[in-house]
Amino acid sequence: GLFTAIRRLREVARIIAPSLEGFGIPLYAQHVDAMDNATLVDVFRAEENSCLLGTDAMRDGVDVPGRSLRLLVYDRVPWPRPTILHRERRIHLSEGDPKGYDDAQARHKLRQGFGRLIRRGDDRGVFVLLDKSAPSRLLAGLPVVPRRVTLREALEETRGFLASG
């Protein structure tokens, strides 16, 4: 899972850890486990049936082809953080369309995440964005046009996909 806030990542890790443990699924989480990011990714890559939670650093430059990465979940649209640097870039790089600049940044992060899921021609996976307020204009930039479904439908379809091997 990819999170836009460390606090939410830690809370989700705390909530799901007992359930995952009950199913024998190891949970690794950036900002929770005392391992550096590279080690977390290496351990996750080696264990096909494990779960990894992280923030932007886990999305950027991470390569996990094959069965270890079959499900990618974003908690929210990864909008740019409104920092001073972001405001300056937005002013100077937006070409008069600041909202379009933010859209382009978020779309790029979503595409990058999707690209982590499908690394090779034989890779298969499920991409889930839990943010029901995600604008369609952002999702149109993904290689596969996503479908909007209820959380229950997403869980059922994901369970079916993962059970199919």
Residue 92, pLDDT score? 85
Query: How confident is the model over 35-44, as a mean pLDDT?
Result: 92
Distance CA 60, CA 86 (A): 18
Residue 40 pLDDT exceeds 80: yes
Q: What SS3 class is residue 18? A: helix
Paired with 74 in beta bridges are 2, 129
Distance CA 83, CA 94 (A): 15
Residue 140, pLDDT score? 82
Q: Report in angstroms the alpha-carbon separations of 155 from 34, 100, 118, 150, 159.
A: 30, 32, 20, 9, 6
Rg (alpha carbons) of the chain, rounded to whole number: 16
Which tens digit of pLDDT belongs to each residue from 46-89? 998 899 999 888 877 778 888 888 888 888 999 998 889 988 88
Q: Report in angstroms the alpha-carbon separations of 160 from 39, 79, 126.
A: 30, 31, 11
β-pairing, 27-29 vs 71-74, is unpaired
Residue 82, pLDDT score? 87
Which tens digit of pLDDT belongs to each residue from 7-28? 999 999 999 999 989 888 999 9
Residue 165, pLDDT score? 67
Which tens digit of pLDDT belongs to each residue from 90-144? 888 888 888 888 999 999 889 888 888 888 788 888 888 888 899 988 888 788 8
Residue 15, pLDDT score? 92
Which CATH number does the domain 6-163 belong to among 3.40.50.300, 3.40.50.1970, 1.10.10.10, 3.30.429.10?
3.40.50.300
